Structure 1
């Protein structure tokens, strides 16, 4: 979780505490507010101390219960500011996986230079439909979300039109382990590796593979995208972080550059991909 996000959540909690203690009907104790809302007291404590992210409904009823319903719009605005950076999967996937894919399609379409590091799977823009289907199915099961995988696959495939845009450049780094990860049937992985072999040499794509035996300047860590050196997207198990502050972008650019120093490209990258492809037959 980003430091900026946590600071903003703490600030929202402080504002909630202020509303509780300075309402028109006088100060409410945390216990009294919890009883009024039908919540456990621990929820009030967690919200006020920035240990839990409020929902829009939480903020509406808080404003009403403290006798200040007009403040709800302000609280909702603060929440939108939080969610523009920390986007929980629970909330994003309430509308299904297709909607999430369309958000990423738009973000990539508005970028000219895209850098990626991935240590867990093949990045979406280079996936085959079958591989994408396997990945999205796993995430749908993990998050127990709306099962609109086929719509999501079609949306993800639309993103690949950018690979043939002469004004766009993709600089993608993959950890070699990704080439061997059996998150899908062997036949699907074989097709995906064939797809990667065809990507090497594409004018708009620089594909690098970081070998398992390479000396690394930084640990592999989690995957991320950098758009036009202005925005970073990091995916975790429970959320995505959309970061645009200078420190976050600079740190991820340095991390990406450090990982790139350990990568191989061109024929050496093809050799590692072909080696993984042959291993599927043994």
Structure 2
């Protein structure tokens, strides 16, 4: 388990210990008797040695008269379970499986909030651009070469841009228009694709210019699915956020990033400038 997950487990245990004491259970033994548990179970949960189950939390809150905390604590448990999914573990059989796993999440989501400071969001990628990113993933993590299958699964997500009543709020930093995957021709094709999808009525595309005044530091890229899940990617792992109070922070950060973004004609002008840049590179 990662340090972050262990710290979260210990914090949960401390919360539950405080609930127990506030409810008048002076010892873990007294609470264990009331709950019908072994005393060692209470001790392990309170000291972060064992993660509480959702049923454990419901019983704990019932016995301590803190039923109003059940939803938040269950979200905490799920957060701990999913907290730190190492890329090596997720990608050990290749990249296609991870791309497949994203599709059910996309199918259930009504409102997307996406922030990518350095590259184009996967659902807006061309097949050539996506394949180039998967080449880097393959080489960096030394995983099986399933680039074609992974690319096909990533592109499958694009169906949701055209189906149902989903809302896509996408923010890119200007750097994403210049980060070079595959050379000038791949980049020009990708930028043309962005210009095309900008016309979709339920897609709001903003770009944060490199000279924009920032209201929060750019941070890592993240994808928010409704107000239920945030995925944050690092080099080593994918970090899942499900706790309501933490999701509120990402909602706030996204709103602050939007304040720095431009839209519409200004976005098209930035893209045209980037196309010209890559065009000059192809002439060299």
Q: Structure 2: 5+ residue runs without aligned partners? A: 12-47, 49-76
The 5-angstrom pairing of residues 31-180 of structure 1 reads: 82-180=80-178
Question: Retained in 2: the 8 A contact 1:172–1:205?
Answer: yes
Q: Do the aligned partners of residues 280 and 3 (structure 1) sit closer, same or farther apart at CA in structure 2, a change above 3 Å counting? A: same
CA distance in 1, matches of 2:92, 2:225: 26
What secondary structure does 1:145 align onto? coil
What secondary structure does 1:95 align onto? coil
CA distance in 2, matches of 1:81, 1:111: 18
Question: Retained in 1: the 8 A contact 2:188–2:279?
Answer: no
Matched positions, count: 218
CA distance in 2, matches of 1:258, 1:220: 10
CA distance in 2, matches of 1:8, 1:217: 28
Question: Retained in 2: the 8 A contact 1:201–1:266?
Answer: no
TM-score by length of 2: 0.72
Question: Retained in 2: the 8 A contact 1:166–1:204?
Answer: no
Question: Retained in 2: the 8 A contact 1:165–1:204?
Answer: no
Paired residue for 2:235?
Answer: 237
Question: Retained in 1: the 8 A contact 2:79–2:242?
Answer: no
CA distance in 2, matches of 1:80, 1:261: 32
Paired residue for 1:62?
Answer: none
1:183 to partner: Cα distance: 2.6
Question: Retained in 2: the 8 A contact 1:121–1:178?
Answer: yes
1:278 to partner: Cα distance: 0.8
Paired residue for 2:200?
Answer: 202
Q: Do the aligned partners of residues 7 and 163 (structure 1) sit closer, same or farther apart at CA in structure 2, a change above 3 Å counting? A: same
Q: Do the aligned partners of residues 242 and 81 (structure 1) sit closer, same or farther apart at CA in structure 2, a change above 3 Å counting? A: closer
What secondary structure does 2:231 align onto? strand
Question: Retained in 2: the 8 A contact 1:168–1:204?
Answer: yes
Question: Retained in 1: the 8 A contact 2:78–2:242?
Answer: no
1:229 to partner: Cα distance: 1.3
Paired residue for 2:7?
Answer: 7
Question: Retained in 2: the 8 A contact 1:86–1:242?
Answer: yes
1:8 to partner: Cα distance: 4.5
Paired residue for 1:14?
Answer: none
Alignment root-mean-square deviation, CA: 2.4
Q: Structure 1: 5+ residue runs without aligned partners? A: 12-49, 51-78
Deviations 1:241-261 (A, max 9, x none): 111001220111111110000
Q: Do the aligned partners of residues 82 and 183 (structure 1) sit closer, same or farther apart at CA in structure 2, a change above 3 Å counting? A: same
1:10 to partner: Cα distance: 5.9
1:5 to partner: Cα distance: 2.1
Q: Do the aligned partners of residues 8 and 95 (structure 1) sit closer, same or farther apart at CA in structure 2, a change above 3 Å counting? A: farther
CA distance in 2, matches of 1:173, 1:6: 32
